[in-house]
Amino acid sequence: MATPHAYSDPDVIAQISDLTLRSRRLAEGGISGQHRSPFHGFNVEFAAYRDYTPGDDLRRLDWRVFARSDRHYIKQYEEESNVRVTFVVDGSASMNYRGSRAALSKFDYASTLVVSLAMLLARQQDPVGLVLFDEEAGTILPPSATQSQVTVISGLLQGCTPARKTELGGLLRSLTDRIRRRGFLVIVSDLFTDLDAVYDGLNRLRFLGHEVLVLQVLDRDELDLPFDGPTVFKDIEGEDEVFADPGGFRRAYQGAMREFLDGVKRECGGRGYDHVAFCTDEPLGTSLARLLRAREESAHHTNGRS
């Protein structure tokens, strides 16, 4: 696959190249991917081999093939399927923010994250798609497993100018009507929006059998409010301005942000969804590899119990 230029970071890709992103729920589809289908028949037949990757069930290694080739292969059957992954990316004005300690804005960081994962999924032969939103869905690219899809996604992200307000809750509700087939949605946003509406949307997605991974991208300034002296604080998605000395309320602000993040993690977990926070001053490759390894370890433990 040709490497897309926009938002393709070789260092990030190198750090996750030997990892996988897998669905933890049942998937529907063909036989080319690495996910287990819910459709179990009485005559489940062998379909193909694929290379072993960390996290695979060792009971499914073909030791006869290993004895002949000295390579590890996993048996795939008709019940094996690929999963359709859709990245739901926040393109609102608040994603433009870049503090002095960050090399990238939140949107550029999020876009690099998405392109890196999309390349990983394309290698797994999983179809990938994109939804770009602010107050509404500005772009909807259906999932595809074609070789050019990652380049298309990268180009759409590069052409986006984050603007307007965030309206994620309404978008999630609309996606329940647009995405009929069960799939894997990866939400990438700062989540500065109406969270009650977001949770309602997540409830609807859970009811329809979708898997969701929530990746929250924040700038360090938004976590610790580092400003000194009287400062003008402007609503980046509106016109409100406040002149204040942050020293007087920094501790209360930091406590409120911790409560905000803990609440999102708790609400997502209650619905069976993972929530992971990324901070733009941290190396993306390291943070992304940590996330993928954690999911692989969880999948391995699940396989061990089955």
150 lies in the same domain as 247: yes
Res. 247: pLDDT tops 80: no
Distance CA 214, CA 300 (A): 21
pLDDT band at 3 (very low <50, low <70, confident <90, very high): low
89 lies in the same domain as 196: yes
Residues 6+ apart with CB under 8 A from 120: 16, 17, 19, 20, 21, 292
131 lies in the same domain as 185: yes
> Which of 4-8, 34-38, 46-50, 170-174 is the most confident on average?
170-174
Q: Evaluate whether residue 31 is within a structural domain.
A: no
pLDDT > 90: what percent of the chain?
A: 53
215 lies in the same domain as 122: yes
Instruction: Choose the final residue of a domain: 32, 52, 78.
Output: 78
Structure-token match 């759409």, residue found? 156
Q: CATH number, domain at 246? A: 3.40.50.410
pLDDT attached to residue 47: 46
Please tell me the total count of domains within the chain: 2
User: What is the CA 216 to chain-centroid distance, rounded?
Assistant: 9
**Strand ranges, E, within the chain:** 35-36, 46-51, 73-77, 80-81, 85-90, 128-133, 137-144, 184-189, 211-218, 231-234, 241-244, 274-279
pLDDT attached to residue 57: 65
Domain that holds residue 61: 41-78
Q: How many Cα atoms occupy the beta-carbon half-sphere of 180 within 13 Å?
A: 0
pLDDT attached to residue 43: 37
Q: What is the mean pLDDT of residues 5-28?
A: 82
45 lies in the same domain as 132: no
What is the reported pTM? 0.78
Instruction: Choose the final residue of a domain: 30, 63, 78.
Output: 78
143 lies in the same domain as 207: yes
- Computed on alpha carbons and rounded to an integer, the radius of gyration of the chain in Å comes to 21
Q: Evaluate whether residue 34 is within a structural domain.
A: no
Q: Evaluate whether residue 107 is within a structural domain.
A: yes
101 lies in the same domain as 224: yes
